Amino acid sequence: MTDLLVPDTAADEPERSGSDAEIDSLLLAAARGDREAFAAVYDATAGAAFGLALRVIGSRGAAEGVVSAAFLEVWRTARSFAASGMPARTWVLAAVGRLALASVRDAAGVVETGPVDVRIPVDPLQARMAELTPAQRQVIALASFAGCSQAEIAERTGHPVGAVKTRMREALTRLQDASPRTR
């Protein structure tokens, strides 16, 4: 079993061992307290987890810390995995991504005090952002900068998931119209 506190940083490329169905069943077993199953989940996802954390944070040491914290969170919250409706690999990487983004925000001294005000210095895009409704700007900011899923946005804002999805789609469509096309 790989040491659960220190990811194997020798592998810069994410590994994909085990099928999604195998990892799903292993995580369900880990939720019942099976340490060997959890070790297998770790072995199957640690490479991708470290790669994601390293890309987000940029520092090997900080990425190792985030991965360790994320797997501790995965172990502690594994019982909520089945209700998430996500594949286990996605669920694990979402935990890593959340903690990596939080680490970057903490290092930058960013404190969330409410809806995020988005200011992007690209004129056409900035103009399109200004044209969005406050609700559309809020869902874009929560998804892009806070790393929230649509369900988490719905929970934070008190709006139905369907409304969040509609606002997200409309906002992204309007923003896409402002982005330069590459051919």
Query: 132 versus 16: which is more confidently predicted?
Result: 132
Q: Is the pTM of this model over 0.75?
A: no
Which tens digits make up the pLDDT trace of 73-93?
999 998 888 777 788 898 899
- Domain residue limits at 79: 20-108
Count of domains observed in the chain: 2
Radius of gyration of the chain (CA): 18
Residue that is last in its domain, among 48, 76, 108: 108
Which tens digits make up the pLDDT trace of 138-169?
888 888 777 888 898 899 889 999 999 999 89
**Residues 44, 71: one domain?**
yes
Does residue 111 surpass a pLDDT of 70? no
| pLDDT given for residue 101 in this prediction | 87
